[in-house]
Chains A and B, each alone.
Chain A
Amino acid sequence: MFAIEANGQTIEAKRGETILQSLKRAGINVPTICHMEGLLPSGTCRMCVVEVEGYGGLIPSCSYPVAEGMKIRTNTPDVMTTRKTIIDLLLSNHPDDCLYCARNGNCDLAKLAADNGVRERSYQGGRNRRPKDISSPSIIRDPDKCILCGKCVRMCDEIQGVSAIDFIARGSKAFIGTAFNQGLNVSSCINCGQCILVCPTAALSEHKYVNEVLQALADPDKVVVVQHAPAVSVTIAEEFGFAPGTDFDGKMTAALRRVGFDRVFDTSFTADLTIMEEGSELVDRVQNGGALPMFTSCSPGWVKFVEEFYPEFLPNVSTCKSPQQMMGAIIKSFFAQKEKIDPKNIVSVSLMPCTAKKFECGRPEMGQDFVADVDYVLTTRELAELFRITGVNPAAIEPEAPDTPFGERSSAGKLFGASGGVMEAALRSAVFLLTGEEMQDYTIQALRGMEGSKELRVKVGDLEVGAAVVSSLGQARKLMDEIKAGRKDIHFIEVMTCPGGCINGGGQPIGADKSAIQARMAALYQIDSDDQLRVSHKNEWVQRLYKEFLGKPLGHKSHELLHTHYDKREVLL
């Protein structure tokens, strides 16, 4: 620690950090665009420039290390004019359709312009008109709105290790696109939507299905059934002005009924079902010499990633469908039979923190007799839109319980929303299934938290299990390369595509920083510690489903409805 001077006041700086980091800690705000927390600075946008006494010109604070004795000024006329000019230039060729824009209300570019007093157009720049890419079922790209900050490219490359997109061409003609500038649907894009979360404008947004859902709700001949993922109830409140980590579980259920859904089910129920199936699958693989380590298959971005980049590991991926697809499958089979509804008249909607789920529900494997398990997937953001359009305010509604038979859940199922949660839920049940005894303390601290990679060796009966949890595909890649190189001490691996798990999914409210994501995670842990039912195998309705319909885990019916298989996928890598 040493002292530097900023805007006339003395502040503390740590050796090795950037000027921006020191300023931020002291509460001095410097605007940034291309800066990404936790990644090396790229220093391309120049929004963060400051003056340092004795240094020529302006210094980009995001990439310049602090030094002893520095005298920094962040709000001289020169600095402020420069910022304004940069924003002016960014706006010079930006479309003026803010009123119709997907990011109206939470646009970083609009906020920068407002915060820095840019209130009229100084330059009229030539526009490179490029068509929207609507080829992907998950993500829409609108190059006209792109300001070339490069954050999506870095997210896709440095965090996810996918590199579906990059800068194409040069200078004023440069744009972001896929290899050979083809549609995102034929690229290596795994639909995770992390690019949407870092995009400062609406150049990237989710493929919306709100209108289709509204149409289904208005159709009297359709039974519209909805399920919601574990990570949606703890984030939807943010869209209505509540602090991150506020749980709207019961309120959301009540609100969904007001919107007009005929049944409201909880995907955490099929998360419990997943534990039963996947747990049995793991035991089966261990006892009968199946492919190990086994990877989870809940995260559709991850599944596509394996199909593209590591097809040799496909036998290691669990054959279980994801909880969303399991729910879809039992809604259109068990539920349809029980309620005597033709599955063709059921519209199955799913509320997910995820853009890749939109792709998953359209996979040809995910249905029976040409009826899709799940018809439409809405992200948390679209759910908020649905509530607003229909004039339902979840904040003002008394909580209600979800519908039977797929409403009851254990809090283990709820934990699926955070990285490490699937593993924690699986171990709780595995210990019981293999030893007949419940764990003393259900909480497994080593699997919790935001770290990208967590490992645990645990004794389950006589079995010593090596468990690994990774979130983000960059982390998954590292682990897979270790396994490829001969690592053998791991048996079960949970992979979540998004850093931190579904609570930070590509469909979640935009603008969450690390502390907001931690608050969402803490909310799930709180739900778990408050709950009476904390293990999947004690979920009574899951047991009843097996008794009345499925038979037993990995049984014939399960295989038909709840399991699938994946194939190598040919895309441009």
Chain B
Amino acid sequence: MPSVKSVETILMDHPDAGRDHLIPILQEIQEAEGYLSQESITKVGRALEMPSSKIFGVATFFNMFRFQAKGKYHVMVCRGTACHVKGSGRALDMVTKALKIQPGETTRDKAFSLEVVACMGACGLAPVVNINGQFYAKVSPMKLQRIIEECREKEQTHVHA
């Protein structure tokens, strides 16, 4: 496993960085830590002499940034054109109801996190959902519910064992 870069090292890789380095820095931090924590945004603010409100504003403008750590099961629902036509909206509704979280959020037990993506390049299989790298093709709300329940069961047996 490659070693995870700390925010400090990332900032050191950008000496004399100005505000034009903000987005690359945030991307690297998200890559290293999986999300942008308050701590890292504050550190970036201090290094770039930018208010954290501005950094938060920039980061929330883009869909790629998340502000909560990913869950054990990271659910990505495709909302690209083909998936939309094939009913991915209903699939997403189902997931938000079942997990009680909105896109970008993580469940309190840190088991699930949800992300909406624009296209995963698998339009022939629409609507597509990806959980931890595994693709699920032509999902219906029913099918998706089963998949999530399976993840939950796996998680529970894992805890009990």
Give chain A's interface residues, CB within 8 Å of chain B: 157, 162-170, 177-181, 187-188, 572-573
Q: In the bound complex, do residue B60 and residue A573 qualify as a contact, i.e. CB atoms below 8 Å apart?
A: no
Report if A179-B56 is in contact (Cβ < 8 Å); known contacts: A188-B51, A572-B42: yes
- Interface-central residue, B45, B53, B61, B67, by most chain A CB under 10 Å: B53
B56 contacts A573, C-beta separation under 8 Å:
no
Which residue of chain A has the shortest Cβ distance to B61 in the bound complex?
A: A170
Q: Does B57 contact A (CB under 8 A)?
A: yes
- Please measure, in the bound complex, the distance between the C-alpha atom of A155 and the C-alpha atom of B75, giving whole angstroms: 41
The distance in angstroms between the C-alpha atoms of A159 and B61, with both chains bound, is: 24
**Nearest-CB distance from B16 to chain A (Å)?**
19
A572 contact from B52, B57, B61, B67, Cβ within 8 A: B52
Additional 14 contacts, C-beta under 8 A, given A180-B56, A573-B46: A157-B51, A163-B51, A164-B53, A166-B51, A168-B57, A169-B61, A179-B52, A179-B55, A179-B56, A187-B53, A188-B53, A572-B38, A573-B51, A573-B52
Residues of A close to B53: CB separation below 8 A = 163-166, 177-179, 187-188, 572
Taking the nearest CB of chain A, how far is it from the CB of B17, in angstroms?
Answer: 18
Contacts of A181 in B (CB 8 A): 56
List residues of chain A with CB within 8 A of the CB of B45.
573
A180–B61 CB distance below 8 A: no
- B47 CB to nearest A CB, Å: 12
Chain B facing A: main interface SS? helix
Footprint of A on B, CB under 8 Å? 38, 41-42, 45-46, 51-57, 60-62, 67
Q: Compute how far the CA of A167 lies from the CA of B46 in the bound complex, rounded to whole angstroms.
A: 20
Residues of B within 8 A of A168 (CB): 56-57, 60
Can you show 14 pairs from A to B with CB atoms below 8 A apart?
A163-B54, A165-B53, A166-B54, A168-B56, A168-B57, A170-B60, A170-B62, A177-B53, A179-B41, A179-B52, A180-B38, A188-B51, A188-B53, A572-B38
The 5 closest A-B pairs by CB, nearest first: A163-B51, A166-B57, A179-B52, A179-B53, A166-B53
How many cross-chain pairs have Cβ atoms below 8 Å apart between A and B? Answer: 50
Bound complex: CA A168 to CA B67 (Å): 13
With A169-B61, A573-B45 known as contacts, the answer to whether A179 contacts B51 (CB < 8 A) is yes
A169 engages B42 (CB within 8 Å)? no
Measured CA separation A169–B56 after assembly (Å): 9
Residue of A nearest to B56 (CB): A179
Q: How far is the CB of A163 from chain B (nearest CB, A)?
A: 4
In the complex, what residues of B have CB within 8 A of residue A166's CB?
A: 51, 53-54, 56-57
Tell me, rounded to whole Å, the shortest Cβ–Cβ distance linking A381 to chain B.
Answer: 27
Chain A nearest CB, measured from B89 CB (Å) = 15
CB distance from A554 to the nearest CB of B (A): 38
Query: Is A180 a contact partner of B57 (Cβ separation < 8 A)?
Result: no
CA distance A522 to B51 in the complex (A): 37
CA distance A177 to B55 in the complex (A): 12
Q: How far is the CB of A200 from chain B (nearest CB, A)?
A: 21
A573 touches B54 (CB 8 A): no
- Quote the shortest CB–CB distance from A165 to chain B (angstroms): 6
Tell me how far the C-beta of B43 lies from the nearest C-beta in chain A, rounded to whole angstroms: 11
**Chain A contacts for B61, CB-based, 8 A:** 167, 169-170
